[in-house]
Amino acid sequence: MDEQTEAAPAAAQDAIAALARQRVEYDDADLELPADTPHGIFARWYEDAGRELGEPNAMVVATDDEAGPAARIVLLKGFDARGFVFYTNYLSAKGRQIEAHPLAALVFPWHDMQRQVRVRGLVSRVTAQESDEYFALRPRGSQIGAAVSEQSQPMRSREEFAQRVEELENRWAGRDVERPSHWGGYRVHPYEIEFWQGRLNRMHDRFLFTSRDGRPAPLDDATTWSAVRLQP
């Protein structure tokens, strides 16, 4: 028992040392200042990610409330000149945070490509029509799940939840599932977007696009953005 107690700190120190040494050397890629709009660059990078990654639309969404910042992985479901769209339960933790503080940060962590995209922007709900159109594209099981889940609330038991799913399946049997009013989309309207390319010896390339007036701007309008190369 005493030997095990004494060995634990040493093992922990070894694990810490191994973690400190853990690193991946990036390629000697060179990223020149992109002569394009933020929308054009993101569209090309996303196309690249779609060819190389299994889930390129996985992104970190960070929000905030009185308790502090919160982050989670959410799937991107649309992007255009207006911004980046994802869907969720409006009554979930992130939904409540967004409604109280309509700001968000996004991160696309495309590690295998040695790339990263960071976004900051204002958040608003997409139109009901947009939410309806996307909801109709979801698999029926996902539609049922969105309708029955009180997302982020405590679950009394899996059995009770499964029973509620079954009840809703029976209620909508033979009919299209309607989108519940508490579920829909948010659009992040960027006022800042950074493109990050890993390079050898951590001499990374970073290009920051900032809207000229500090407010959300169309991503496809070069006149509304200024760009600067940041130090690694």
- Give the 3-state secondary structure percentages of the chain, helix then strand then coil, rounded to 5: 35, 30, 30
Q: In the chain, what are the domain boundaries? A: 30-138+184-230
Reply yes or no on whether 202 is catalytic. Answer: yes
Each residue's pLDDT tens digit, 197-218 = 887 777 788 999 999 999 999 9
Helices (H), 138-199: 140-148, 158-171
Identify whether the C-beta of residue 111 lies closer than 8 Å to the C-beta of residue 66.
no
Can you point out the beta strands (E) in the chain?
58-65, 68-75, 78-80, 83-89, 103-110, 115-125, 183-197, 205-211, 225-230
CA dist list (Å): 191 to 18, 56, 118, 231: 39, 22, 11, 20
Fold assignment, 30-138+184-230: Pnp Oxidase; Chain A (2.30.110)
Q: What is the full per-residue pLDDT of the chain (232 aa) written as tens digits? A: 455 555 567 777 777 777 677 667 667 666 766 678 999 999 999 999 999 999 999 999 999 999 999 999 999 999 999 999 999 999 999 999 999 999 999 999 999 999 999 999 999 999 999 999 999 999 998 998 888 877 777 768 788 778 888 887 888 888 899 999 999 999 999 999 999 988 777 778 899 999 999 999 999 999 999 999 998 8
Q: Which of 72, 171, 202, 215 is catalytic?
A: 202
pTM: 0.85
